[in-house]
Amino acid sequence: MTERKPPGTTFESWVEKQIRTAAERGAFDDLPGAGKPLPGAGAPVEDLWWVKDYIRREGLSGEALLPTPLQLRKEIERLPETIRELTTEQAVRDVAAELNRRIVEHLRAPIGPQVAVRPVNIDDVVEQWRAAVPKPSQQSAPQAAGPSTPRKSRWWHRFRR
């Protein structure tokens, strides 16, 4: 198959000659699936069958095909479930901030259908997480040795909010 098409011949005749000579050499004998029907032959034709087959082959969810604003809406709906398993407040803030970054990125250059999407309030997300996280009992908390004096808060902590 490395020889080139001779000048002056039509493409179809050259290709057909290559196939014929390969068949005469026996290059097509004992191929896997010989004598069996083609996969999917006789099955009803579906719209976008190739997309469904790609999703199945690659192990993707159908959610990957949704437009960006709908994907973001689904992530906002699943946010309480996502943060429930996080262990620190900083991790919750990071997840919410990353979601907000993608939402703002979409709002700056919207593509897809016009679906209302707005950034989440990170403080509200943290409060939801705090309400969902079981609080340690008073009995299991270790007692500090000695008198407990309230710590004086630093002046720069007043500006963190």
Read off φ and ψ for residue 41, nearest 5 degrees: -70, 135
As a whole number of angstroms, the distance between CA 3 and CA 17 comes to 12
* Mean pLDDT confidence for 10-30: 86
Query: Half-sphere exposure of residue 78, counting CA atoms within 13 Å on the CB side?
Result: 9
Residue 138 is predicted with a pLDDT of: 40
**pLDDT above 80 for 25:** yes
Only one residue has tokens 């340690």, namely 136
> Which region among 48-52, 54-58, 83-87, 112-116 has the lowest average model confidence (pLDDT)?
48-52
**pLDDT above 50 for 16:** yes
Residue 125 is predicted with a pLDDT of: 92
Give the number of residues written for the chain: 161
As a whole number of angstroms, the distance between CA 65 and CA 51 comes to 9
Q: Minimal CA–CA distance to 82: which of 96, 101, 61?
A: 96
Q: What is the pTM of this model?
A: 0.53
**pLDDT above 90 for 132:** no
Query: Half-sphere exposure of residue 13, counting CA atoms within 13 Å on the CB side?
Result: 5
Residue 134 is predicted with a pLDDT of: 75
Mean of the per-residue pLDDT values of the chain: 81
As a whole number of angstroms, the distance between CA 21 and CA 27 comes to 9
* Mean pLDDT confidence for 63-81: 90
